[in-house]
Structure 1
Amino acid sequence: MEQERRRRTADDWAAAALTAIGEGGLAAVAIEPLAARLGATKGSFYWHFSNREALVGAALALWEKQFTDAYIAALAGEPDPVARLRMLFTRIMGNAGQNALAVNVLASADHRLVAPVVRRVVQRRIDYCVALFEEIGFPPAVAVQRATLGYTAYIGHEQLAARLPDLLPLHNADQLTRYIDSVLNLLLHDAPGHNAPV
């Protein structure tokens, strides 16, 4: 038992639960299948978590850390807000469809455990984009509109990439780059001091 506790950490369980959500939604977070996946026992699970809800909470915290905190931190070193916006869209749209995690989490947004996390994450992401558009030079009200449009474009892209990838005409890196260029040109239309295409 002591050896297993050292071998399987709470983070291991949270990561396995997050993978399960990506594969099958919230319902896929079940202790026995996760234990089998980890090569662990149910006792290992109960060493770290009091119940399934605690595991779901840990998985969602990991989702927030990996797909919001880490993304924002990765952009922090770029001083140009337009370049940061391009980096952000390139990363999120380039990864779309590789894993249904974002789609499955959002699909569970009305679940009592998921709802507060999703609301916090979405608000933080939109706030981050609003700040980018304001830094580019848009007035606050316009920055909110552009950030909301950009975020909903991302959500729609993610949904199609995960559920109906054959409907997205983005089959190679050049097509994806041109698509991102077109999205950014729309979002940056009439940006102060920004006349040329991105």
Structure 2
Amino acid sequence: MDVEQGRRRLTADDWAPAALDAIGEGGLNALAVEPIAARLGTTKGSFYWHFANRDALVVAALELWERRFTEATITALAAEPDPAARLRMLFTQVSGSAGQNAAGVNLLAAAAHELVAPVVRRVVQRRIDFTIGIFEEIGFPLAVAVRRAMLGYAAYVGHYELATRLPGVLPLDDGGQLADYVDSVLELLLHDAPTRWPPSGGRLPAAH
């Protein structure tokens, strides 16, 4: 292990998560080099070894957010072959983790920023397109799939906003309540699916 002045030598991969944490805690304006350096137990000199300026760190934090909270989720869900089960997994995951991704809420609030705007737009479009694809696999025509995906994503954004800004206001801490909530949402979205959902009259299929 490389050591500098008795400490582990930091890499860009150490700075990006710390920057994302700062965004989650205080918004984009909270991403400042000196406080993050103090959090990491290092100096500004370490920062400038890896990044040209603060904007470069913002970009690194945005790239990490996109990979961690969008691409990793989509990759994991893509392994489920049943589209209805995949949709249930998606809603369960995003509903159960509401309030745990404050960075996403704060980045959406900063969507007008020149560095944030293209990333947030790309992430939102990627998520919506993924959800549209699931509804199409279930058998809905494209126009209907788009509307259902938009409705589902709008509900997701509102859910995250409430859970982040008003912790505890959503009574979904209990696992049974969360499962019932997800089932009720999916029943609304899939009640007129081309095939009967759930197929056996019970819960919508869970992951295999």
Aligned counterparts of 1:9 and 1:136: Cα–Cα separation in 2: 44
User: Within 5 A, what are the aligned runs for 1:38-187?
Assistant: 38-187=40-189
Aligned counterparts of 1:22 and 1:165: Cα–Cα separation in 2: 14
Relative contact order (C-alpha < 8 Å, sep 6+): which is higher?
2
Q: CA deviation at 1:6?
A: 6.5
* Aligned residue pairs, count: 197
SS in 1 for 2:168: helix
Deviations 1:118-143 (A, max 9, x none): 00000000000001100110000000
- The sequence identity of aligned pairs, in percent, is 70
TM-score, normalising length from structure 2?
A: 0.91
Aligned counterparts of 1:35 and 1:114: Cα–Cα separation in 2: 22
Which one has the bigger helix percentage? 1
Q: CA deviation at 1:176?
A: 1.1
Runs of 5+ unmatched residues, structure 1: none
Q: CA deviation at 1:157?
A: 0.4
TM-score, normalising length from structure 1?
A: 0.95
Structure 1 segments, 4+ long, off by >6 Å, are: none
1:3 aligns with 2:6: no
Larger CA deviation: 157-166 vs 125-134: 157-166
- Amino acid corresponding to residue 3 of structure 2 in structure 1: Q
2:28 is aligned to 26
Q: CA deviation at 1:11?
A: 1.1
**How well do the aligned residues superpose, as a CA RMSD in angstroms?**
1.5
Aligned counterparts of 1:58 and 1:100: Cα–Cα separation in 2: 17
Q: CA deviation at 1:194?
A: 2.4
- Amino acid corresponding to residue 97 of structure 2 in structure 1: N
Q: CA deviation at 1:23?
A: 0.6
SS in 2 for 1:35: helix
